[in-house]
Structure 1
Amino acid sequence: MRVLYLGDIVGRPGMQAIKSDLHRIRKEQELDLVFANGENANGGYGITAKQARDLLNWGVDGISGGNHIWRVKDLYSMLETDGRVLRPHNYADHLPGTGVRIFRKKGLPPIALINLIGRTFMPPIDCPFAAVETALDELSADIPVIIVDFHAEATGEKIAMGYFLEGKVSAMVGTHTHVQTNDAKLLSGGTAYITDLGMCGAKDSCLGMKPEIILDRYLTGLPRQLEAAPGPGVLQGAIFNIEDTTGRATSIAAFQQDKMPQKRG
Structure 2
Amino acid sequence: MKVAFLGDVVGRPGRRAVHLWLEENRKEIDLCIVNGENSAAGFGLTEKVAKNLFSYGVDVLTGGNHTFDKKEIFQFIDNYPILRPANYPEGTPGKGYFLIEVKGKKILVISLMGRVFMECLDNPFFVFDKIVEENEADIVIVDFHAEATSEKQAFGFYVDGRATAVLGTHTHIQTADLRILPQGTLYITDAGMCGAVDAIIGMGKEEGIYRFIKQLPVKLKVPEKPERIQVSGVIFEVDKNGKIVNFERIFQIYKRSEDGSYTRWEGTL
Partner residue in 1 for 2:235: 239
Unpaired runs of at least 5, structure 1 = none
Deviation at 1:20, TM superposition (A): 2.8
| TM-score of the pair, normalised by structure 2 | 0.92
Equivalences, count: 258
Between the aligned partners of 2:84 and 2:149, the Cα distance in structure 1 is 21
Deviation at 1:187, TM superposition (A): 1.1
Partner residue in 2 for 1:152: 146
Between the aligned partners of 1:250 and 1:191, the Cα distance in structure 2 is 11
Alignment of 1:47-126 (within 5 A): 47-82=45-80, 84-105=81-102, 107-126=103-122
- Does 2:260 match 1:262? no
CA change 1:256–1:153 in 2 (3 A) is: same
Between the aligned partners of 2:123 and 2:166, the Cα distance in structure 1 is 17
Deviation at 1:213, TM superposition (A): 0.8
Deviation at 1:159, TM superposition (A): 0.4
Between the aligned partners of 2:157 and 2:48, the Cα distance in structure 1 is 36
Between the aligned partners of 1:188 and 1:241, the Cα distance in structure 2 is 18
Partner residue in 2 for 1:181: 175
Letter in structure 2 aligned against 1:243: D
Unpaired runs of at least 5, structure 2 = 261-269
State, as a whole percentage, how many aligned pairs show the same letter: 40
Alignment of 1:213-252 (within 5 A): 213-230=207-224, 231=226, 232-244=228-240, 246-252=241-247
Between the aligned partners of 2:217 and 2:259, the Cα distance in structure 1 is 39
| TM-score of the pair, normalised by structure 1 | 0.93
Q: Say whether the 8 Å CA contact 1:175–1:195 is kept in structure 2.
A: yes
Deviation at 1:76, TM superposition (A): 2.0
Between the aligned partners of 1:170 and 1:70, the Cα distance in structure 2 is 28
Q: Say whether the 8 Å CA contact 1:189–1:248 is kept in structure 2.
A: no
Alignment of 1:174-213 (within 5 A): 174-213=168-207
Q: Per the alignment, in what secondary structure is the counterpart of residue 199 of structure 2?
A: coil
Partner residue in 1 for 2:263: none
Deviation at 1:190, TM superposition (A): 2.1
Q: Say whether the 8 Å CA contact 1:78–1:85 is kept in structure 2.
A: no
